[in-house]
Amino acid sequence: MAQTRRDWLRSSLGMGGLLIAPSALLTSFEKERFNPRSLDPIVRLSSNENPYGPSKVVQDAIIKAFDHACRYPYEYSDQLALKLAKKHGVGAESIIITGGSTEGLKLTGLTFANNGGEIISAAPTFLAMMDYAKQWGASVNWVDVDESKGYNLNEIEKRIGVNTKLIFLCNPNNPTGTLIEKNALLDFCSTASQKAIIFSDEAYYDYIEDPDYPSMDALVRKGENVIVSKTFSKVYGLAGTRIGYLIAKPSIAAMIRKNLVAMSNVLAIAAADAALEDHDFYHFSLQKTKESKKRIYDLLNHLDLPYVPSSTNFVFFESKRDIRELGPELLKEGVRIGRPFPPFYDWCRISTGTDEEIDRFVNAMLKSYSA
């Protein structure tokens, strides 16, 4: 049975300031405008989702789009591509709408690294491209993250060989939350893209707080061998609709488009189109993520558990316990956390969530670490 508001308020007072005060709850306007859901018996802090989405504006757009659900999505997809092309300063032929960014990652690996091609990737990172490409004969050259859990760009560049087809950069990286220094990123991509195709997974780009931090779409506009992946799953809160897109110069985009499978659907396209215009929800999501991360940081500081400062909507921290044991323990307390990320079995990835969800996490952690 879901926890009631009264029960949650009663449990949230005190605890040394780690649990939020009633004044931090959403206002009635925010509840009406952004449609937060009730607290589930098991809170999912495992998949880096935005629990506040989709917004009321997007929900209304989805309902309206049912009138067009009898139509194939091609025309609607083309219209969205035009809007995205304008957003990124490229031609519409450089935009590929996909069934979530994961399809874009898999398509790229299949297109360029099948039958023996090599992908160079950091470890740990998001595995969708590499896992799928290996099924089609690709090999993966893994480069461990450095001591700060960041990318070792010098080592990656040393590994580039004649058989290297793709260099996968997840930036900010999942699961570590680290961000490549912007000048180093531009220098690396400009140089390495002359030897292989750079794939820049920017699923968490919106959470970067530096307003001048560059997207690699800047290199696409210059005609370089760079592919950028974007998603509506994170800050826009549309993970369940499965829609994302790739940005690449026309010659590369044409090659990927030949292998396109899902393309998304009319309802998801309408949701994405509306989400791009819902600036209030966008900024609300960023603010709530920032607040949630601070609460997680405060808890980890209280428990003396080191963590990596995050440029995403999750935090990677040293649990000092085997995650394969901590995960089931927290699940018994109603909290689902991220999976293990070998070889860091004593590190944990925790997603941001609603105030009530983080309250549940705080309680579970305090109980677990006081035992």
288: Cβ–Cβ under 8 A, 6 or more apart, which residues? 52, 352, 354
Position 6 scores a pLDDT of 47
- Decide if 5-55+280-370 and 61-277 have a common fold: no
- Evaluate whether 232 touches 84 at the Cβ level (below 8 Å): no
What pLDDT does residue 53 have?
A: 87
Q: Is 0.85 surpassed by the pTM of this model?
A: yes
Rounded CA-CA distance 80/85 in Å is 9
State residue 34's pLDDT score.
67
Residue 22 has pLDDT above 50, yes or no: no
The token pair at 272 is 């994405």
Tell the CATH superfamily of the 5-55+280-370 domain. Answer: Aspartate Aminotransferase, domain 1 (3.90.1150.10)
Tell me the residue type at 256. Answer: I
Domain ranges of the chain: 5-55+280-370, 61-277
| Tens-digit pLDDT profile for residues 332-365 | 999 999 999 999 999 999 999 999 999 999 999 9
Please, which residues have CB within 8 angstroms of residue 343's CB and are 6 or more apart in sequence?
none
Q: Determine the average pLDDT of the residues in 268-276.
A: 98
On whether the CB atoms of residues 219 and 171 are closer than 8 A, the answer is no
Determine whether 127 is exposed, middle or buried from the number of CB atoms within 10 Å of its CB (0-12, 13-18, 19+).
middle
Q: Which tens digits make up the pLDDT trace of 287-325? A: 999 999 999 999 999 999 999 999 999 999 999 999 999
The domain 61-277: what is its CATH number? 3.40.640.10
Q: How confident is the model at residue 8 (pLDDT cuts 50, 70, 90)?
A: very low
* Mean pLDDT for the stretch of residues 161-178: 98
Q: Measure Cα distances from 152 to 122, 180, 198, 324, 343 in Å.
A: 8, 9, 15, 27, 17
Per-residue pLDDT of 48-104, as tens digits, reads 999 998 999 999 999 999 999 999 999 999 999 999 999 999 999 999 999 999 999
Contacts of 339 (CB under 8 A, 6+ apart): 46, 323, 327, 349
Nearest to 211 by CA among 63, 358, 311: 311
Residue 98 DSSP SS3: strand
* Predicted local distance difference test score (pLDDT) of residue 263: 76
How many helices (H) and strands (E) would you count in the chain? 14, 12
pLDDT at 21 over 80: no
What whole-number distance in Å separates Cα of residue 137 and Cα of residue 275?
38
For residue 36, the 8-state DSSP code is: P
Confidence (pLDDT) at 1: 44
The C-alpha atoms of residue 242 and residue 220 are separated, in whole angstroms, by 24
Q: pLDDT grade, residue 40 (50/70/90)?
A: confident
Under the banding of pLDDT at 50, 70 and 90, the label for residue 36 is low
Q: Per-residue pLDDT for 250 more than 90?
A: yes
- Calculate the alpha carbon distances from 211 to 203, 208, 232 in Å: 16, 8, 20
User: Between 244 and 7, whose confidence is greater?
Assistant: 244
Higher pLDDT, residue 263 or 136: 136
